[in-house]
């Protein structure tokens, strides 16, 4: 499947299965009890519940596993119930129906955990505490500019790790998204281009996370960075030729492979259909 087809299918899937915040966590909590005897399922549910608890407390969550039920989940449940109940036992049949009927909805909710985070917290890229610690180690005290910071999860994490960050965002999206009214750290209202113009002489590192798909503001910024008489570490988080950033950006970006990039991706792992990662761009 080519990237364009993949992008269309992904958008269609996410439109069809949009997760609404109301009742989402309560449903997962019920499923956590329902599937109490199945550790593989409980691990996934508990990861989602723990991430939600930490975010509610204003803390960054931990790294997520792939939020997908194993392909053999129904077989595992069937075998377990056959061992627990004798053949023909109506209680076993009832238990099987209860669990198998719940699986499709549970699978949908786990697959769309990112939608819940977007709707509830305005967190598009999943920013974990272990990843931000790696990012802070890479920055190592160098003044940093974050553009398109959104609610500021990356900047908050870096500031909590004693890094000096200018967090900026145009904040245009606040008009359409209620979660944009709840930043987790101070964010200055500046477009990416204006932010770079203002702070280019003061910073050594630039961070851009999930630039909007199809808008060439990322390509404009990259051209500004290249035209400046200074070398920057330009850190980009997104899905190459996928759900984030413009076509022009990916066509023109020079992606640097290095041990440092590998280290930055150590705790930044895909957990759903979007395969975003950390890039160092020239």
Cβ pair 68, 74 in contact under 8 A: no
User: Which residues of the chain are modeled with pLDDT < 70?
Assistant: 1-22, 173-181
Predicted local distance difference test score (pLDDT) of residue 148: 96
Phi-psi region of 241 (alpha: psi -120 to 50; beta: other; left: phi over 0): left
Predicted local distance difference test score (pLDDT) of residue 17: 44
Predicted local distance difference test score (pLDDT) of residue 4: 41
Predicted local distance difference test score (pLDDT) of residue 178: 58
- Structure pTM? 0.88
Predicted local distance difference test score (pLDDT) of residue 177: 60
Find how far residue 27's CA is from the centre of its chain.
21
- State both tokens at 185: 């750290």
Ordered structural domains, the chain, with CATH = 3-121 (no CATH), 129-281 (3.40.50.150)
């Amino acid at each position: 499947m080519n990237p364009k087809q993949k992008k269309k299918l992904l958008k269609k899937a996410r439109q069809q299965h949009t997760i609404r915040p109301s009742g989402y966590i309560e449903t997962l909590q019920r499923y956590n009890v329902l599937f109490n005897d199945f550790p593989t399922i409980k691990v996934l549910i508990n990861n989602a519940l723990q991430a939600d608890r930490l975010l509610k407390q204003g803390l960054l969550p931990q790294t997520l596993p792939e939020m997908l039920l194993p392909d053999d989940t129904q077989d595992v449940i069937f075998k377990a119930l056959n061992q627990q109940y004798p053949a023909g036992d109506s209680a076993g049949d009832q238990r099987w129906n209860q669990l198998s009927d719940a699986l499709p909805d549970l699978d949908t909710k786990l697959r769309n955990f990112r939608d819940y985070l977007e709707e509830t917290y305005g967190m598009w890229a999943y920013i974990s505490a272990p990843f931000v610690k790696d990012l802070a180690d890479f920055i190592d005290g160098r003044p940093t500019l974050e553009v398109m910071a959104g609610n500021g999860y990356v900047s908050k994490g870096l500031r909590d790790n004693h890094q000096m960050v200018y967090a900026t965002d145009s904040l245009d999206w606040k008009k359409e998204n209620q979660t944009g009214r709840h930043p987790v750290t101070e964010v200055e209202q500046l477009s990416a281009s204006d932010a770079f113009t203002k702070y280019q002489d003061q910073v050594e590192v630039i961070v851009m996370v999930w630039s909007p798909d199809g808008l060439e503001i990322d390509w404009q910024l990259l051209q500004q960075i290249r035209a400046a008489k200074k070398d920057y570490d330009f850190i980009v988080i997104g899905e190459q030729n996928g759900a984030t950033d413009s076509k022009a950006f990916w066509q023109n970006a020079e992606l640097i492979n290095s041990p440092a990039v590998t280290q930055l991706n150590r705790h930044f792992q895909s957990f759903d259909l979007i395969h975003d990662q950390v890039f160092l761009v020239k």
